[in-house]
Amino acid sequence: MKDILYIVVPCYNEEEVLPETSRRLKEKLDSLMAAGTISEKSRILFVNDGSKDKTWPLIEGLHAQDPVFSGVDLSRNRGHQNALLAGLMTARDKCDMAISMDADLQDDVDAVDAMVDKYYAGCDIVYGVRSSRKKDTFFKRFTAEGFYRVMNFLGAETVFNHADYRLMSKRALEGLAEFKEVNLFLRGIVPMIGYTAGTVEYERGERFAGESKYPLKKMLSFAMEGITSLSTKPIRFITGLGFLIFLISIIMLITFVVKWALGMTVAGWASVICSVWAIGGLILLSLGVIGEYIGKIYLETKARPRFLIREVLDDE
């Protein structure tokens, strides 16, 4: 049993962490190869996501020194999810299993052994799950937790505290290739693939060096994309909301008619203004939500390529 493992690492301006990451990953792969757990053809595949620093020359250098390092150079920056997909799709033809991992060593490299064990035990997908969020700021923990809650409430199946550290078998990768959506939210799509899944817990560390490429604004838009690409429930809520408001207005109408019949005066322009504003606001909000989905349809129908590859460095 010696299957080929590819570790896929998307990199955007990661020159500061690459030397250490490559060293640690090679160490891991060497030990697995020496133990006879994985094939000698296993590789560490760095995907350069249009970095502006020396990331790609570094990857070229690593590849020239040691064939265990492979590289994919994208035509430009396409974002984490697309870069990851480019790597996984490149690895698909060459590997039996692929592990996706961040470049900044936040994902514990030592969890690889357990993932590979689960793969041999019959799992097609193994999710890396954070055992705790102790190292996160309160704000990040709070927003992350809220996000998973909302996702589950909306009926999108996501694995709690799992980001993009996971193992996928060739079969699962082939399944992933069938999902053609331009707007990619991998951690929502992967559970849809099915097959046998397992989880491995790991302690998520701090970024080894450099800065997070996910500032708050990007994080929020990522969350929004995730929700609208996985669930249409918000549209249904609007229908419910409209129905509720209609009911309330009927009750109001009946009350006023009764009051009028009893000879009481029905007071106030203030209530009229309030309801006009309230309804106006709700209508705009609803249009906005529907607009999000229409925008999504617009982008999906164009079916633009999710990534373009400039160069692949990989020795068979």
Binding site for ligand UDP (CB under 6 A): 10-12, 14, 49, 77, 79-80, 83, 102-104, 106, 207, 212-214
193 binds, among ligand UDP, Mg ion, none (CB under 5 to 8 A by kind): none
For Mg ion, the binding residues (CB under 5 A) are 102, 104, 106
16 binds, among Mg ion, ligand UDP, none (CB under 5 to 8 A by kind): none
**Closer Cβ to ligand UDP, 18 or 29, answer by number:** 18
**Closer Cβ to ligand UDP, 25 or 123, answer by number:** 25
Whole-number minimum distance, CB 271 to ligand UDP, in Å? 47
For the chain, the three-class secondary structure string (H helix, E strand, C coil) is CCECEEEEEEECCCCCCHHHHHHHHHHHHHHHHHCCCECCCCEEEEEECCCCCCHHHHHHHHHHHCCCEEEEEECCCCCHHHHHHHHHHHHHCCCCEEEECCCCCCCCCCHHHHHHHHHHCCCCEEEEEECCCCCCCHHHHHHHHHHHHHHHHCCCCCCCCEEEEEEEEHHHHHHHHCCCCCCCCHHHHHHHHCCCEEEEEECCCCCCCCCCCCCHHHHHHHHHHHHHHHCCHHHHHHHHHHHHHHHHHHHHHHHHHHHHHCCCCCCCCHHHHHHHHHHHHHHHHHHHHHHHHHHHHHHHHHCCCCCCEEEEECCC
Q: In Å, how far are 62, 112, 129, 149 from 286, measured between CA atoms?
A: 52, 45, 35, 22
49 binds, among Mg ion, ligand UDP, none (CB under 5 to 8 A by kind): ligand UDP
**Closer Cβ to ligand UDP, 68 or 83, answer by number:** 83
Whole-number minimum distance, CB 200 to ligand UDP, in Å? 18
**Closer Cβ to ligand UDP, 37 or 55, answer by number:** 55
**Closer Cβ to ligand UDP, 65 or 212, answer by number:** 212
51 binds, among ligand UDP, Mg ion, none (CB under 5 to 8 A by kind): none
**Closer Cβ to ligand UDP, 112 or 123, answer by number:** 112
108 binds, among Mg ion, ligand UDP, none (CB under 5 to 8 A by kind): none
Enter the tokens of residue 219: 């994080």
Whole-number minimum distance, CB 214 to ligand UDP, in Å? 4
Whole-number minimum distance, CB 11 to ligand UDP, in Å? 5
**Closer Cβ to ligand UDP, 7 or 123, answer by number:** 7
Whole-number minimum distance, CB 39 to ligand UDP, in Å? 25
195 binds, among ligand UDP, Mg ion, none (CB under 5 to 8 A by kind): none
